[in-house]
Structure 1
Amino acid sequence: MMPASPAAPAVSAATSPPAANTAPAKATSTTLDSAAIEKKFADLKSSPTGLTSADAKARLAHDGPNAIQAHEESRWKKLLGYFWGPIPWMIELAALISFLRQDWPDFIVISGLLLYNAAVGFWQDNKAANALAALKKGLALKASACRDGHWVPVDAATLVAGDVVTVAAGEIVPADLLLVSGKYLSVDQAALTGESLPVSKRIGDGAYSGSIARQGSMTGLVVATGNNTFFGRTAKLVASAGSKSHAEQAVLRIGDFLIILAAALAVVLIGAQLWRDLASGAGWHWSEAGAIAQFVLVLLVASVPVAMPAVMSVTMALGALALSRQKAIVSRLSAIEELAGVDILCSDKTGTLTQNKLTLQAPIPFGTTTADDLVTGAALATQKQSTDAIDIAVLKALPNTTVLDSYKPLDFVPFDPVNKKTVGIVQAANGQELRFAKGAPQVIAALCGMGEYASGPQHTDEATAFFGKVDELASHGTRALGVAKSADSGKTWTLLGLLALLDPPRPDAKQTIAEATKLGLSVKMVTGDDVAIGSEIAHQLGLGEHLRKASDIFTKNTDPNHIPLDTARAVEASDGFGRVFPEHKFEIVKALQELGHIVAMTGDGVNDAPALKQADCGVAVSGATDAARSAAALVLTAPGLSTIVNAITEARAIFERITSYVYYRIAMTIDIMFVVVLSYLVFGFQPLTAIMIVVLALLDDIPIMTIAYDNVRTAATPVRWNMHRIISFSSIMGLAALAQSFGLILLGIYWMHSPDLMQIIPLNPHHLQTMLFLQLAAGGHLLLFVVRTRTTLFRPPFPSLPLLLAVLGTQIVAVLLCAYGILVPALSWPLIGMVWAYVLVWMVVMDGVKLLYNAAMTRREKNSTALTRPIAQS
């Protein structure tokens, strides 16, 4: 025998033959012989007549139902989790103190923000649970099983290992089966394995639960049910997958930083109060506890960024609305900032990079055959009503569909996995009976007397050319289909030629990948098809062609939760992967994440769901299954990957807006905390009341939500949370803001001690409190304008109109509150004007501080790069 090249990919279909004899890895179980099948029956204590009802009932009680059973954390527990943690504790403590002191405005506002944060998080988290529900929909509901020697319909959930069932065209395979009898079954398992075409099964092969029978009918022995099936393992991966977003980690670290700072300042406050009481000789009195509690409350409200989760959620929600206009639906808000930092994009091939439609490439005729004759011959070996992908491609390639009308169909021999060909018997217009065959190249070669299959004379030159062309096509990942003709009832056959079939790339895929590369992304192809097919598509798309077989990297003993370092590095170095199964996709994402990469994974099938959920940003492409959409954080509603490039650009803009807010929020928190403590320690003066701080939080943060519309300069490379820069830059800006605020207090105290100034404009401590309140309200928003860009604030990009209007409206409200004494002591218009002049001068000073910091950081980064650059590059 002279088989086709091992590199030639397999194509098995309902009525059409495989293009070559290479079977996909793991796509079908290793075919068992009759002895192995008998042993399997014996191992399961079953027989070809199935189980008895009593035996089936006992096994069902022992093994459990044939259903996905994944134990996830209860939703109530998840809900309570949003009230547990450093930031929630501090907010709850602030609410408790305000409740005990009966400061109802403080209590209502703080509690409201806490509940809002929990509600938003819980609502988003609930979406993830839908992935498992969508997977369950893929299971068969009914099955035909042999019980007590009779075929009876049963619920698929009651099937047990050892049952004997039938599977026919149009049915969902109800459990993992070993096919034990029947002639032929074509199974579509693309949603499970990622293979682009149905797979032909025969006796001794396996069939996966959840796959769909397209044609034929066979009997199978149930070998696994429920969570033990291939489908069940995929579902368990979905239930266990998922990683905490970098935004959540960043918020926790920011919260920890502020909480530690607040705790230290609270200790200083309490210690100072105790020292003053003891040093004055008055001694400690419990009446002092209320005053200290009041100060601690003010400090807590000032230190805890109660609105930060809410503002970030709303900002990302507004960003999600913008992404929806780009045909990208966000199902998990944290996906926005994750997408902005993605540096590796793992892309499914079939239907994502390719059209998932086989097309006929240029026909390769042999002898005197023309290209049109070759296609017509293949079409005559095809049933017109066939829904098979190969048959559809052949019929579409006909130069003129009316050419078939001149032939009268007499008989048709459908494809089977043994003969690996289809034969059409027709009568030509002149009455001559003709036979046309299409099938696996080696089978057609045998019909024509070529190769080791041949029983007749060898046609050496033609055989060499024929198999050489088959090997060439296989090396490019192209499926080959042989076509032959017989005019003497099949006694002798004439080779017509070869048809090359390929699932072509999407028209926009190459440009999209080029744009993704410009954005700093490394694109890795992940496909269930053969490596040769993936390599050819990668070549056409301009991707790296170093694809590896997934099973060569991940062994059966690989623990997805503990990927070896060598394995992770092998994944990182590869351009893509072929022969990939769900556990492989999951492991690929985990391996890259363990090396510190932020990973996006695109997909459309059930097989993609675990990796989509585990990825930092799972992207379900247009037309994806319910399971894939539910597991993904981003769902594309437009075909192709071009949408994801737009989404990445938009996500980076949103990330810039969020980081601007974080800089501003931390700096303002530091400013307020320290000005409260320093004023009390130095002057024994409480500069702000608790209600002032709560109102400040509302005035500062609610209008800031319009930052989602701000004009920003997007980064050319992936961006991620740089906690060192965030904390250092925010702290420096916070200290500069503190100098501004404390400077105002010093000026106010000097003013109150100057008779001449007091005669011009009277000033008392209550006025000073209001002045500081207005300075923080106005200076805070001006600080946002400073930190929102790395360049000077007098250069573009300038703030957007919505942000400017929101800030303007807020400042009008703040001025009116101060002028008319609403919630704060009233302040005269001259003092209001003086405060505004003060903060405008300081805005320019703060801008200078920012530029000095950025210049210093730029020099430091350059020096660091120079030190770590290889000697050869120096």
Structure 2
Amino acid sequence: MTQKNKQLIETLSLPQDELFEAFETTSDGYTSEVALKKLEELGPNEIKPHKKKNPFVGFVNVLINPFNLVLMVVIAITFITDIILSTGEKDYLTISILSIIVIISTLISFIQDERSSAASEKLLNMVSNTTAALRDKEFIEIPIDDLVLGDIVNLSAGDIIPADLRVISAKDLFISQATLTGESQPVEKFVRFDEESIDGGESDYSNLCLMGTNVVSGTARAIVVRTGSNTYLGKMTHILKTTKRSTSFEHSISTISRLLMRLMIIMLPIIFVINGLLKHDFIGAFVFALTVAVGLTPEMLPVVLSSGLARGAINMAKHQTIVKSQSSISSFGEMDVLCTDKTGTITQDDIILERYMDVNGDDDMRVLRHAYLNSYFQSGLKNLIDLAIIERAKSYNMDDLINYYTIVDEIPFDFSRRRMSVILEDSNDKRQLITKGAVEEIMKLCKYIDRDGKVSLLDDETRKEAMDVYMQHNNDGLRMIAVAQKNDVPADHEFGVDDEYDLVLIGFIGFLDPPKESAKPTIESLNHHGVDVVVITGDSLGVAKKVCNKVGVDTEVTYIGKDIDEMDDDQLREAVKHCHLFAKISPDQKKRIVESFQNNGHTVGFLGDGINDALALKQADVGISVDTAVDIAKESADIILLKKDLNVLEQGILEGRKTIINMVKYLEMAVSGNFGNMISVIVASIFLPFLPLLPVHILVQNLLSDLAQTGIPFDNCDPKDLDKPRKLDSKSLTRFMMVFGPLSSIFDIMCFIVLWFVFDIRTPQQAIIFQTFWFTFGILSQALIIFVIRAKHPFSFKNRPSTVLVLVNALAIGITLLFVLTPLASTIELTILTRPHAIWVFGIVGLYLITTALIKKFVWTPLD
């Protein structure tokens, strides 16, 4: 429990005279002068908005990231080579494409950052403008901004709570906290602080009314104990304004970008110096080195990334899932822990009648009949409990029962009594009063008990035995209601609350919000796919445990909110390793639990729909809400479900994994290929008396290779690869680069050896033949190696490449062959490839593919 929370509980527990003394006030409130002085001293009761960032500064902050820096260096290099140093026609195409890529990716990130502040802005609009405060011994309407600590306010039905208040007097005060907790049932607030309410969050504290909630019924006086940014709502607003933590996917992309930058900084000076010294042309060497920089940069990464995420978003939309933040799709793929609430997600968010029992706990149709008559004949709006009773009674053909009774009168339900009664008359003119309602309220009115068909006095012993039956089933997760009746009903009488006395307790009915039929198989499927489902609920442990047992969530280890408060961060990190059910949990505790899972190395998704879920939604790697959630929850989430069901998440998880798998394919190919090309260029520069490729060759080769890679986001994935969470691991990628990069260099060097020793290509005059050969090999090998890298078993028919991938690679290869086998070769300073050269090119490419496939299958072991 935090220090501030302890102070709040002390404030709520103080006797009223000490409370007034602590706030330097009295039951008559402040005078206008004192209130004004306090307002000047403490400041207005407003949630202070953060100073809004200058949009330009925000845009620059998003622009400066590792990958954009790599691309900006490439843009600068391209500007030098293609425009400043160009002796012929200046080429603006490459620099334009690169600039557009940087601007579009930056704009997308900037727009998402700007949207993140919308949640906190909506919170600020939840509170009304004025409130009735006690000033100069009378209640007057004042702006809520003028409320100060210790002010006494008057509350009545329809009022919105203007600050955090402690109740000092109340009559049937019921508060709707739906905006905070998502629970539609009003909560009664009392003058006395109930120590048991500490087990829940601040919304459960028995005499605390939170800013932004509203009064459903009753009246009260309350004293202001927290204002402005110190209120529960204010703290929530402050946290929602913070930037969402970066995901591991984004972190890995940044790591890879920095790796590419380091490679460029280290290798390019080497290439420049070697070519300058050996070929005595430092200007040409400089241009060549800069061009190599362009060719070695995977500038298609933003395009491939955006294409993959967009494809995932489109596919998820088909499954009733709206993606607000595309980067969250990758987090879906990495997710291995899903924290979710219970109501409406695992359960049907509906009420069914589970048990109807006598006072001994045995099934008794008579109890159901009485409950049915009460629910059927009441004239008010039938709630979910009434409908559940009627439905169950009809299943036993009790419909005919109503033909034997007529209603004489009723005593309607209200929140203060928490019960309702009907007075019926049967065909023999016998009158009967039937009452059902909250167990505690009904027991107070009962003088007798019906046990085994015999009516006797309800003494202390039988009262305790009946309460034990009630508590046993209540702790087992049933929502219990008592049913009572009496036959001594007067004729020609105006019935009212005073007639609800000397009742006979006949039994209880128990209700349950049952699990969805899809919940258990979906949870099993999520577990099969490597996702642990953890239930975090504000509901009681008994109810939550019963539901979780039915759907297959492990309940061997459970914790409630009070347990979480007693743990430090290290203890909580250890606790979450073994627990799948947390009950009576507050919003702060939800956030701590999610953070503890993250600190243990998990990627966490959180599914919630109330303001009390906003902190956890913000903390989670992927926040998930539903279309029917409160606005703040939807604003804080990355993913919106059009249907509150775990089943619709499964497709999202698979789409996320497909996106990451295809991203890894691209990066493995691009990073290892680029590293290998750097090694090959250095080797070629040392031994060749001419440049192995001209700048134009590198740029065209790069363009065609990029074309081949655009199909990767649309590739198919091996179903086995989708069975576990996937992460973009920069360490594994670096390891892949160190193995397969040099491997590709070996076959580049094989090309050099064949050209040097077999075809005797050694002089500068023969450079164009060498360049044509290596140009062709470079594109063919990079295009075809995709089909080897994309799967562990590249030649298996079970995991075939997608049609899109095959087509774009065929197009890239076709254009390449068109350039090197026809007179078009001269347009890019190449010559026509001869048949012997072509045979050797295809032979080395084939050998490269087979070798890579064998190493990948039998030698290479991924870290994950």
**Which TM class, normalised by the smaller chain length?**
0.7 to 0.9
2:105 maps to 1:109:
no
After superposition, residues 585-600 of structure 1 pair within 5 angstroms as 585-600=590-605
* Local SS of the residue matching 1:791: coil
Can you list the C-alpha shifts for 1:480-527, whole angstroms capped at 9, x where unaligned?
Answer: 111211333445211121011222222211111111111122111100
Instruction: State the partner residue of 1:726.
Output: 733
| Match of residue 550, structure 2, among 517, 540, 548 | 540
1:837 CA displacement:
6.6
Query: Does 2:492 match 1:495?
Result: no
Taking structure 1 as reference, are residues 77 and 690 closer, same or farther at Cα in structure 2, changes over 3 Å only? farther
Deviation of 1:247 after TM superposition, in Å, equals: 1.6
Q: Which whole-Å CA distance do the structure 2 matches of 1:291 and 1:276 have between them? A: 12
2:650 paired with 1:645: yes
Corresponding residue number in structure 2 for 1:527? 537
Aligned counterpart, 1:6 = none
| Letter of the 2:591 counterpart | F
1:681-692 correspondence to structure 2 within 5 Å: 681-692=686-697
* Residue 273 (structure 1) shift: 5.4
Mapped to 2, the partners of 1:114 and 1:555 lie a distance apart of 46
Kindly tell me: are residues 550 and 703 of structure 1, through their superposed partners in 2, closer, same or farther at Cα, counting changes over 3 Å?
farther
SS at match of 2:264: helix
CA contact (8 A) 1:770 1:825 kept: no
Map 1:567-716 onto structure 2 (within 5 A): 567-714=572-719, 715=721, 716=723
Q: Match of 1:867?
A: none
Q: Does 1:36 align with 2:29?
A: no
> CA deviation digits over 1:266-313, x for unaligned, max 9?
232344357559xx8xxxxxx94x445423312322333222133212
Residue number among 237, 262, 271 corresponding to 1:260 in the alignment: 262
Return the match for 2:294 from 284, 295, 301.
301
AA aligned opposite 1:374: H
SS of residue paired to 1:82: helix
Contact 1:778 1:836 in 2 (8 A): no
Tell me, in whole angstroms, the C-alpha distance in 1 between the residues paired with 2:846 and 2:124: 58
1:437 and 2:419 matched: no
**For structure 2, which runs of at least 5 residues remain unmatched after alignment?**
85-90, 193-206, 450-455, 489-498
- Which residue of 2 is the match for residue 363 of structure 1? 356
Deviation at 1:846, TM superposition (A): 2.5
Structure-2 separation of matches of 1:475 and 1:436: 26
Contact 2:768 2:831 in 1 (8 A): no
Deviation at 1:157, TM superposition (A): 4.5
Check whether the contact 2:537–2:583 (CA below 8 A) recurs between aligned residues.
Answer: yes
- Residues 780, 141 of structure 1: CA spacing in aligned structure 2 closer, same or farther, 3 A cutoff? farther
Q: Give the stretch that moved more between structures: 347-356 or 129-138.
A: 129-138
**Structure 1 position 95 matched with structure 2 position 98:** no
Post-superposition shift, 1:391?
5.6
Distance 1:774 1:833 in 2: 13
**1:74-127 Cα distance to aligned partner (Å, 9 max, x none):** 554342133324433333233223334525434333333322332233233334
Q: 2:62 matched to 1:82? A: yes
Q: Tell me which residue corresponds to 1:741.
A: 748
The Cα offsets for residues 605-641 of structure 1, whole Å up to 9 and x where unpaired, read as: 1111111121112221352222222222222112311
Matched residue, 1:373: 369
1:66–1:41 distance in 2 versus 1, CA, 3 Å:
farther
How far apart, CA to CA, are the structure 2 residues paired with 1:692 and 1:661?
A: 22
Q: Match for residue 125 of structure 1?
A: 113
In structure 2, C-alpha distance between the alignment counterparts of 1:343 and 1:148, rounded to whole Å = 60
Structure 2 residue 845 is the aligned partner of structure 1 residue 838 = no
1:594 corresponds to which letter in structure 2? N
Describe how 1:327-366 pairs up with structure 2 within 5 A.
327-366=320-359
SS of equivalent residue, structure 1 residue 69: coil
Alpha-carbon distance in 2 for matches of 1:98, 1:726: 27
Provide the residue aligned with 1:466 in structure 2: 466
List aligned pairs for 1:46-65, cutoff 5 A: 46-51=25-30, 56=35, 59-60=38-39, 62-65=42-45
The 8 Å contact of residues 158 and 214 in structure 2, kept in 1 or not, is answered as: yes
Q: How many Å separate the matches in 1 of 2:175 and 2:745?
A: 70
Give me the whole-angstrom Cα distance separating, in 2, the residues matched to 1:765 and 1:736.
25
Contact 2:294 2:699 in 1 (8 A): yes
Aligned mate of 2:380, from 366, 381, 384: 384
The separation in 2 between residues aligned to 1:119 and 1:241, in whole angstroms, is 17
**Alignment coverage as a number of residue pairs:** 808
Q: Which moved more, 1:848-857 or 1:704-713?
A: 848-857
- Contact 1:194–1:529 under 8 Å retained in 2: no
On the 8 A contact 2:292/2:698 being kept in 1, the answer is no
Q: Give the CA deviation at 1:41.
A: 3.4
Match of 2:485 in 1: 485
CA distance in 1, matches of 2:251, 2:598: 15
**DSSP-derived class of the 1:721 partner:** coil
Aligned residue for 1:498, secondary structure, equals strand
Cα separation, partners in 2 of 1:857 and 1:678, compared to 1, 3 Å: closer
Map residues 758-797 of structure 1 onto 2, 5 A cutoff: 764-797=766-799
Q: Which amino acid aligns with 2:514?
A: P
- Deviation at 1:369? 6.7
1:691 Cα deviation from its structure 2 partner:
4.8
Q: Distance in 2 between matches of 1:67 and 1:378?
A: 48
Q: Which residue of 2 aligns with 1:239?
A: 241
Residue pair 2:446, 2:501 contacting (<8 A) in 1 also: no
What letter is aligned with 1:573? H
CA distance in 1, matches of 2:273, 2:460: 100
- 1 CA distance for matches of 2:16 and 2:391? 42
Q: CA deviation at 1:172?
A: 3.4
TM-score (structure 1 length as normaliser):
0.83
Task: Note closer, same or farther for the CA distance 1:425–1:382 as it changes in structure 2 (3 Å cut).
Answer: closer
Q: 1:506 to 1:95 in 2, by over 3 A?
A: same
Paired residues of 1:69 and 1:227 also in contact (CA < 8 A):
no
> Residue 66 of structure 1 contacts residue 175 of structure 1 at CA under 8 Å; is this kept in 2?
no
Q: Please give the secondary structure, in 1, of the residue aligned with 2:63.
A: coil
Name 1:476's counterpart in structure 2.
Answer: 476
RMSD: 3.6
Partner of 1:869: none
* Amino-acid identity (%): 23
